[in-house]
Structure 1
Amino acid sequence: MKNKTYLKASLREIAYSKGRFIAIILIILLGTMLFVGIKAAGPILNSSASRYVDSHELSDLQVVSTGGLTEDDLAAAKKVKDANVEPGYQFFYADPDKNEVVQVFSYDPQQKQNQLVVTEGRLPKTDNEVILDTKAKDNGYKIGDTYKINDADQLKEASYKIVGFANSPIFISTGERGLSNVGNGQVDYFAYIPKEQFKSEVYGIFYLTFEQTKDLETYDSDYEDKVKEKSEQLETLFADRPQERLAEIQSEAQEKLNPEKTKVADGLAELEQAETQLSQQTAFASQLPVEQRAQLVAAQEQLAENRQQLTEAQSKIEEQEQSLADMKEPSYSFHQRSDNPGFQEYGDLSERIAAIANVFPVFFFFIAALITFTTMTRMVEENRREIGTLKALGYSKFEISKKYFIYALSAAAIGILLGSVIGTEALPRIIFALSSERYNFDQVHIYYLPRPIIQASIAFVLASLGSALLVLMKDLREKPAQLLQPKAPKPGKRIFLEYIKPLWARLSFNQKVSYRNLLRYKSRMVMAIIGISGCAGLMVAGVGLKDSLSSVTAKQFGPIIDYQGIVTLSDDADNPADRQAVETVFDQEGQVTASLPSFNEAIEIRQSGQGTQQLTMMVPQSSKDFADYVHLRNREEKTVRLDDHGAAITEKVAELFDLKEGDSLTIYDSEQQPIKLKISHIVENYLGNFLYMSKDYYQTITDDSYQPNAFFLQTKSMSEKQENQLSEELLTSEKVVNTSFVSQQIQTQEDSMANLDAIVLIFVVLSGLLAFVVLYNLTNINVSERIRELSTIKVLGFFDKEVTMYIFRENVIFTLLGIVVGYGVGIVLTAFILRQASMENVIFPLVIHWTAYVISGGLTIVFTLIVMAVTHVKLKHINMIDALKSNE
Structure 2
Amino acid sequence: MTQSSKRFISLLCMALLGVGFYAGISSTSQDMLSTLDTYLDQTQAYDLQIQSTLGLSKSDVASLEKLADIDSVQGIYAKDALIEPAVPQKTATKNDETAIAKVMGLPQKRNQLTLVKGRLPQKDSEIVVEAGYLTKNKVKIGESIKMTDPELTQSTFKIVGTVKSPLYFSKVHRGTTTLGDGKIDYFMYVKSSVFKQEVYSAIALTVKGAKQEMTSQTVYLDKISAAKKEVERIKRAQEKQRFETVYADDLTPAALASGQVKRDSLPPAKWYITDRQDDAGYKDFIDATKSIAKVGRVFPVVFYVIAVLISLVSMARMVEEDRSEIGTLKALGFSNAAIALKYVLFSLVATLVGGVIGMVIGLNLIPRLIWNIYTTLFAIPKFIVLFQPGYCLTGLAIALICICGGALIAVYRELIYTPSILMRPKAPKAGKRILLEYVPIMWNRFSFSNKIVMRNLFRYKTRATVTILGIAGCTALILAGFGLKDAITDIVNYQYDHVFRYDKLVALKASTDDKTLLNALSQDEQIAHIANISMATKEVSSHGKAYDVTVVVPDDRTTFKQVISLNDINQDKQVVPLTGNQAIVSQKLAKLLKVKEKDTITFKDNRDQTHQIKVGKIVENYIQNYVYLPKSVSQDIFGTYETNIIAIKLKDKLSAQADQKFDAALMTHPSVANVINSKTTVTMINDTMTSLNLVVLILIVSSAILAFVVMYNLATINISERKREIATLKVLGFYHQETDAYITKENTIFTLVGIILGLISGVYLCHFIISTCETDTLMFVSHVNTISFVFATSLTVSFTLIVNIITHFSLKKIDMIDALKNIE
Q: Deviation per CA, 1:244-270, whole angstroms, max 9, x where unpaired?
A: 322332214557x98xx89xx9xxxxx
1:102 maps to 2:101: yes
Matches within 5 A, 1:451-462: 451-462=390-401
Match for residue 65 of structure 2 among 68, 78, 85: 78
What's 2:10 paired with?
Answer: 23
Match for residue 402 of structure 2 among 457, 463, 483: 463
Match for residue 765 of structure 2 among 816, 826, 829: 829
| Shift in Å, 1:136 | 2.0
1:187 maps to 2:126: no
CA distance in 2, matches of 1:241, 1:547: 51
Matches within 5 A, 1:616-627: 616-627=550-561
What's 1:438 paired with?
Answer: 377
Match for residue 326 of structure 2 among 359, 371, 387: 387
Matches within 5 A, 1:646-795: 646-669=582-605, 672=608, 674-699=610-635, 701-702=636-637, 704-715=639-650, 716-795=652-731
CA distance change for structure 1 residues 253 and 132 in 2, over 3 Å: closer, same or farther? farther
Contact map agreement 1:124 1:163 (CA 8 A) in 2: yes
| Shift in Å, 1:208 | 1.0
Match for residue 146 of structure 1 among 129, 144, 147: 144
What's 2:740 paired with?
Answer: 804
CA distance in 1, matches of 2:64, 2:718: 74
Q: Deviation per CA, 1:343-378, whole angstroms, max 9, x where unpaired?
A: 111111111001111111221222123212221122
| Shift in Å, 1:669 | 4.5
1:350 maps to 2:286: no
What's 2:567 paired with?
Answer: 633
What's 2:482 paired with?
Answer: 543
CA distance change for structure 1 residues 206 and 402 in 2, over 3 Å: closer, same or farther? same
| Shift in Å, 1:95 | 4.8
What's 1:119 paired with?
Answer: 116
Q: Deviation per CA, 1:175-195, whole angstroms, max 9, x where unpaired?
A: 421111222211111222211
Q: Which amino acid aligns with 2:41?
A: D
What's 1:276 paired with?
Answer: none
CA distance change for structure 1 residues 328 and 820 in 2, over 3 Å: closer, same or farther? same
What's 1:581 paired with?
Answer: 516
CA distance in 1, matches of 2:36, 2:432: 64
SS at match of 1:685: coil
Q: Deviation per CA, 1:38-86, whole angstroms, max 9, x where unpaired?
A: 0111101111111122111111111111111123311221132242001
CA distance in 2, matches of 1:475, 1:104: 77
CA distance change for structure 1 residues 253 and 727 in 2, over 3 Å: closer, same or farther? farther
Contact map agreement 2:529 2:559 (CA 8 A) in 1: no
What's 1:4 paired with?
Answer: none
Contact map agreement 1:589 1:726 (CA 8 A) in 2: no
Q: Which amino acid aligns with 1:51?
A: T
Contact map agreement 1:602 1:670 (CA 8 A) in 2: no
Contact map agreement 2:471 2:754 (CA 8 A) in 1: yes
Q: Deviation per CA, 1:554-581, whole angstroms, max 9, x where unpaired?
A: 21111121111211211122xxxx3221
CA distance change for structure 1 residues 673 and 250 in 2, over 3 Å: closer, same or farther? farther
Contact map agreement 1:88 1:206 (CA 8 A) in 2: yes
What's 1:413 paired with?
Answer: 352
CA distance in 1, matches of 2:410, 2:710: 21
SS at match of 1:469: helix
**Percent identity, aligned pairs only?**
34
SS at match of 1:208: strand
1:856 maps to 2:792: yes
SS at match of 2:808: helix
| Shift in Å, 1:798 | 1.3
What's 1:35 paired with?
Answer: 22
Q: How many residues matched?
A: 808
Q: Deviation per CA, 1:587-615, whole angstroms, max 9, x where unpaired?
A: 576432221112222211145742x3111
CA distance in 2, matches of 1:92, 1:735: 18
Q: Deviation per CA, 1:826-866, whole angstroms, max 9, x where unpaired?
A: 11111111101111111101132223222221121111111
CA distance change for structure 1 residues 465 and 679 in 2, over 3 Å: closer, same or farther? closer
Q: Which amino acid aligns with 1:686?
A: Y
| Shift in Å, 1:778 | 0.3
Q: Deviation per CA, 1:665-698, whole angstroms, max 9, x where unpaired?
A: 2213567554442221111211111111223443
| Shift in Å, 1:19 | 1.2
TM (normalized to structure 2)? 0.94
Contact map agreement 2:35 2:384 (CA 8 A) in 1: yes
List alignment gaps of at least 5 residues for structure 1: 1-13, 266-316
CA distance change for structure 1 residues 646 and 796 in 2, over 3 Å: closer, same or farther? same
What's 1:56 paired with?
Answer: 43
What's 1:156 paired with?
Answer: 153
Q: Which amino acid aligns with 2:515?
A: Q
Contact map agreement 1:26 1:415 (CA 8 A) in 2: yes
CA distance change for structure 1 residues 727 and 668 in 2, over 3 Å: closer, same or farther? farther
Match for residue 816 of structure 1 among 740, 744, 752: 752
Q: Which amino acid aligns with 1:160?
A: F
Contact map agreement 2:65 2:72 (CA 8 A) in 1: yes
Match for residue 218 of structure 2 among 203, 221, 230: 221
CA distance in 1, matches of 2:129, 2:606: 37
Match for residue 592 of structure 1 among 527, 544, 550: 527
Contact map agreement 1:28 1:460 (CA 8 A) in 2: yes
What's 1:177 paired with?
Answer: 174
What's 1:491 paired with?
Answer: 430
Q: Which amino acid aligns with 1:803?
A: T
Q: Deviation per CA, 1:396-436, whole angstroms, max 9, x where unpaired?
A: 33332232122111101101111111100110011111221
Q: Which amino acid aligns with 1:245?
A: R
Match for residue 78 of structure 2 among 86, 90, 98: 90
Q: Deviation per CA, 1:695-731, whole angstroms, max 9, x where unpaired?
A: 34434x3484543222111013123433333333223
What's 1:869 paired with?
Answer: 805
Q: Deviation per CA, 1:97-133, whole angstroms, max 9, x where unpaired?
A: 621221121125xx11111112222101122222222
| Shift in Å, 1:167 | 1.4
What's 2:244 paired with?
Answer: 247
Q: Deviation per CA, 1:280-318, whole angstroms, max 9, x where unpaired?
A: xxxxxxxxxxxxxxxxxxxxxxxxxxxxxxxxxxxxx97
CA distance change for structure 1 residues 469 and 709 in 2, over 3 Å: closer, same or farther? closer
Structure with greater helix share of residues: 1
CA distance in 1, matches of 2:761, 2:638: 54
Contact map agreement 2:71 2:205 (CA 8 A) in 1: yes
SS at match of 1:66: strand
CA distance in 1, matches of 2:40, 2:18: 34
SS at match of 1:179: coil
Contact map agreement 1:727 1:738 (CA 8 A) in 2: no
CA distance in 1, matches of 2:528, 2:345: 77
Contact map agreement 1:686 1:842 (CA 8 A) in 2: yes
Match for residue 461 of structure 2 among 517, 522, 525: 522
Match for residue 774 of structure 2 among 795, 815, 838: 838
| Shift in Å, 1:483 | 0.7
SS at match of 1:756: helix
CA distance change for structure 1 residues 58 and 859 in 2, over 3 Å: closer, same or farther? same
1:198 maps to 2:195: yes
SS at match of 1:438: coil
CA distance in 2, matches of 1:76, 1:649: 42
Higher mean Cα deviation, 236-245 or 820-829?
A: 236-245
CA distance in 1, matches of 2:19, 2:547: 38
Q: Which amino acid aligns with 1:32?
A: V
Q: Which amino acid aligns with 1:18?
A: S
TM (normalized to structure 1)? 0.87
CA distance in 2, matches of 1:221, 1:781: 51
Contact map agreement 1:643 1:697 (CA 8 A) in 2: no
Contact map agreement 2:291 2:773 (CA 8 A) in 1: yes
